[in-house]
Amino acid sequence: MIHPSKIVDKMFENDAFSKWLGIKRIEDGAGKSVLQITVRKEMLNGFNIVHGGITYSLADSALAFASNGYGRKAVSVETSISHTQACKEGDVLTTHTEEMSLSKKIGIYQITITNQHNKTVALFKGTVYITDKNWEI
């Protein structure tokens, strides 16, 4: 089996938007992904708090990295997110990925995002379809 980090290396290498987000990969793994960003001014909305799209994007990247880490290509099927706490410029946001269910074809992940005070700022759930195609590196 290819090491999950090799797969995520490849996915991340050309992921321009994850790079724009300033994503740091803290931990890679099969069914696991800990990512971190620091909120910048250009990520804020008109209320001067982080745009919901930023936390979604962070969680969505974690979903892709976690679910592809097993070596088979996985694609997102349905995702949902609740934004439970406002985030400000300078906040450090971290994903925590929990694999809730994994069958041959379907994986379900809960991804919680916390800030630097360990407060939950967003609850994300993602469902992926696991294809028959293997990652080749």
User: Where do contacts with a copy of itself occur on this chain (CB under 8 A)?
Assistant: 10-18, 20-21, 41-48, 51-54, 56-58, 60-61, 64, 76-84, 100-101, 103, 105-106, 108, 110, 120, 123, 125, 127, 129
By beta-carbon proximity to a copy of itself, the closer residue of 34 and 62 is: 62
What are the distances in angstroms from CA 60 to CA 2, 18, 115?
A: 22, 10, 17
CA-CA distance, 66 to 91, in Å (whole number)?
A: 23
Q: What angle do CA 60, 63, 69 make, to 5 degrees?
A: 145
Q: Which is nearer to a copy of itself, 29 or 112 (CB)?
A: 112
Structure tokens at 102: 């994994």
Q: How far is the CB of 116 from a copy of itself (least distance, A)?
A: 18
Show the DSSP H helices in 14-129 as ranges: 16-20, 52-68
* Residue 61: CB minimum distance to a copy of itself, A: 7
Name the residue nearer to a copy of itself (CB basis): 11 or 34.
11
